Structure 1
Amino acid sequence: MALGVAQPPALLNALAARAASREVSGLSLYYLLSTPNAACVLRTDLRDRINPVSLFHGVIERALDAEAERLGLAPVDFLPTAFSQAPDVLSRQVDADVLLTTVSPMDDEGCFSLGTNTDYALAVSKSARHVIVEVNPAMPRAHGDCRIPVDRVTALVEHEAPLLEIPSPALRNEDIAIGKLVADLVEDGACLQMGIGALPDAVCAALSGRRRLGIHTELMTPGLSRLMRQGVVDNSSKTIHPGRTVFTFAMGDKALYDFIDDNPAFEAHPVDYVNSPAVIAANARMVSVNATLEIDLHGACNSEQRIGRQYSASGGQLDFVRGASASQGGKSIIACHSTAAGGKVSRIVPSLCGAVTTPRNDVHYVATEYGIVNLRGLSLRERAKALIAIAHPDFREGLDRAAFTIRD
């Protein structure tokens, strides 16, 4: 099943109906980042017929896991992988035999554009034994390496419906403060990657005074598109793909989708290319901005688990951390609020309670609303002191006590 906006509602509703009537069973459904379009097939009552295998948990999977715990069932299957590896995992390791995705209407060359979602779908369209597409005029026709020729399509349905829109989260004071701190590190001519959520949106909002910025990002957002409309981003200083915004999937509002449609300023490419650390590093002055759930006093980040449960996934975070770090003049920034749970929990912790998404060796800059620190070149003792200084004041004394083993 396609990712995000490209999850095809007509096809998925038909599949859910067949599963409910027990006409199909024994299916494993692989996907990343589910949306309400997929809720019809991601149901506890269908788990014995359609087994979801998630590469990135979200609201739907967290709700299913909570329901499974109440009923004494197993949680949703989770397949850990970097986003850059998803095409290989799904097309070669898992060997998915059917692709379900939404595409734009066929062009004059007999090809369908994957539009908002090239990511892993292009690779699976080449390897799957069956490619079933939902043709929707609302899906933008993107430029780049993102087309499926009609001779690869097993079957299609036509279904005209508005694309799913994901509202931008409201910015909190902490987001605005972090956005300004991060924006101060972005020079004119830098190349941007932004993750998902309020913090990257806040960074975009703080960049209105920059010039000649470029974009090379896995996720294209309304915040990034506004920088293009404002003339802040013109991609003129990019080392590779000059003059073009490069992305692998897009998620946001109708204005974003309309802006991408047949716009040569955009190029969509598969995620194993866009998220390749070597390709990312080929962009000079690459700046990546990603969020995390918690960071320990050595600098390691857990961006995917809460209280030992899968909350999201690694996605492309480590891909861009390593790519930006290897870029000439590049900067990798991990940003988070200093607290969670309404201020009751510190996000800077003595030790992580979940998986290590980004190892301490790779972390470069860390930002909270209380400041930004560069961990590169710091000893463990120096890292602890630096991170405690940007923790919430209510937790600094406890963190200082917890760090005694790595302090003089």
Structure 2
Amino acid sequence: MDAQELYASKRMFADDAVRMLHSDSNIAMGMAVAEPPALLKALARRVEAEELERLRLWYFHSMNHAATSVLRRELLDRVRPHSMFLSGVERTLMRADPANGDSLVEFVPTAFSDSPRLLRDEIDLDACILMVSPMGKHGYFTFGTANDYTAVAARAAKRLIVEVNPLMPRVFGEAPLHVSEVDAIVEHRSDLIAIDAHSPSAEDEAIAGIVAGMIDDGACLQMGIGNLPAAVCARLEKHRNLGIHTELMTPALAGLMRSGAVSNLRKQTYPGRSTFTFAMGDAPFYEWLDDNQAVYSLPVDLVNDPRHIAKNDNVVSVNATLQVDLSGACNSEHMMGHQYSGSGGQLDFVRGANASKGGISVIACHSTAKGGSVSRIVPHLEGPVTTPRNDVHWIVTEYGAANLRGKSLRQRAELMIGLAHPRFRDGLAKAL
């Protein structure tokens, strides 16, 4: 059969497609914008009907489609979430049931770069369900906004079920998915999840000014999502010959590309193209991604591999943290005695930037939290170490920047106290 005939032979309704799934199985789910809403709702209906139980769901960064279907509290006795990065969905579940909160979700500590290997080699995947872009004339779907671990999990799973959304952008990249690799195809049009932009705070603006001043023409950028990275990007529009090699593609980075600041011509990997592994933004951003040859989507075990990152010169990695101790160690995932998010790709890019010729890694945070009542600079971390002190390069708060490389513990402590809010400095000094 040709591609169109294969497609037609595998097309079915969502309720029929999920009948391929069975109890006591491991299922990988598309993450973030690539959550497949029709498939997740159909799967939830089978669970509600007590046709399925003992499902182990593997994923990073869940969003609203999962929250309103398979990750509802009443289903969690039959669906066991195995999350490698907690989002607001899991935090809401935990807060709503504080007596059982930490037991509702199985948190699996995993570097984002290692998630494809985990799902391919360590987990016996029975199925993978995800959203893809429409099929091209030669029979290929693209992973759209989310190449990440799904490009690998899709091939590792015994069953692959895709939800084709005409609004999912077709994104050029490695490992496009051929129709012959798919077991079932469900067509469903749904608006892509949009991330609202917010105005940066005074602290964000101060930090952004410091970080932007550390970035030269020709640098290769990795930026996260949020007000602070967006404020940094807004200050770089007059730069020239920037490159982008980032875990996450955002509207702020797209705006930087449109400004003419990005050429990608000085990159050693994929010159001329901005590379990423997943994307989140708004509707105009998704339209910009569609059929855009200036961007290139790659699996996360390549994008986030420190050895691959370091092939580019002058990498500048900008990440956020929740807490930094006086030695420079960062806790970016644990808060108030509970797991808050996950390590994600932070350490991947810190190490990649550190190994890059001329590269720098920046960890940025506000000096305080909870309305200024709590210092983010602390004598000792209250959670796990996401980025070890051995790897930390620059720490930036609204009070300045400190290069910790080559500094002794006492020197580091003195620098960190200088980055703390003034009202906490005396207390931190006494902790020395």
* Pairwise CA distance, 1:7: 0.2
- Give the structure 1 partner of residue 66 of structure 2: 38
Deviations 1:266-310 (A, max 9, x none): 110000000000000001000000000000000000000002211
How many Å separate the matches in 1 of 2:263 and 2:174? 21
1:232 to 236, 250, 261: 261
Deviations 1:100-129 (A, max 9, x none): 100011112211110100000000111111
- Give the structure 1 partner of residue 360 of structure 2: 331
> Aligned pair 1:60/2:89, yes or no?
yes
> Aligned pair 1:391/2:391, yes or no?
no
How many Å separate the matches in 2 of 1:128 and 1:357? 30
Q: Any conservation in 2 of the 1:68–1:74 contact (CA below 8 Å)?
A: no
Deviations 1:322-357 (A, max 9, x none): 000000000000000000011000000000000100
- Give the structure 1 partner of residue 6 of structure 2: none
Deviations 1:340-389 (A, max 9, x none): 01100000000000010000000000000000110001100000000110
- Give the structure 2 partner of residue 9 of structure 1: 37
- Give the structure 2 partner of residue 179 of structure 1: 208
> Aligned pair 1:126/2:149, yes or no?
no
> Aligned pair 1:358/2:395, yes or no?
no
How many Å separate the matches in 2 of 1:123 and 1:161? 25
- Give the structure 2 partner of residue 86 of structure 1: 115
> Aligned pair 1:135/2:164, yes or no?
yes
Deviates further, 161-170 or 217-226? 161-170
Correspondences of 1:187-206 after superposition (within 5 Å): 187-206=216-235
TM-score normalized with structure 1 length: 0.97
- Give the structure 1 partner of residue 138 of structure 2: 109
How many Å separate the matches in 2 of 1:391 and 1:31? 36
> Aligned pair 1:216/2:245, yes or no?
yes
Q: How many residues align?
A: 403
Q: Any conservation in 1 of the 2:119–2:156 contact (CA below 8 Å)?
A: no
Please provide the CA RMSD for this pair. Answer: 1.1
Letter in 2 for 1:108: K
How many Å separate the matches in 2 of 1:111 and 1:83? 26
1:341 to 348, 370, 379: 370
Letter in 1 for 2:400: G
How many Å separate the matches in 1 of 2:364 and 2:102? 35
- Give the structure 2 partner of residue 406 of structure 1: none
- Give the structure 1 partner of residue 297 of structure 2: 268
How many Å separate the matches in 1 of 2:61 and 2:42? 20
TM-score normalized with structure 2 length: 0.92
Letter in 1 for 2:31: L
* Pairwise CA distance, 1:73: 7.2
1:311 to 337, 340, 345: 340
Deviations 1:13-52 (A, max 9, x none): 1111111111111100011001101111112210111111
Q: Any conservation in 1 of the 2:76–2:104 contact (CA below 8 Å)?
A: no
Letter in 2 for 1:297: L
Letter in 2 for 1:290: N
> Aligned pair 1:24/2:52, yes or no?
yes
Q: Any conservation in 2 of the 1:146–1:268 contact (CA below 8 Å)?
A: no
Structure 1: 5+ residue runs without aligned partners? 404-408
How many Å separate the matches in 1 of 2:401 and 2:220? 20
How many Å separate the matches in 1 of 2:352 and 2:104? 33
Letter in 2 for 1:106: M
* Pairwise CA distance, 1:67: 2.6
* Pairwise CA distance, 1:62: 0.7
How many Å separate the matches in 1 of 2:261 and 2:71? 41
How many Å separate the matches in 2 of 1:271 and 1:71? 33
* Pairwise CA distance, 1:72: 7.3
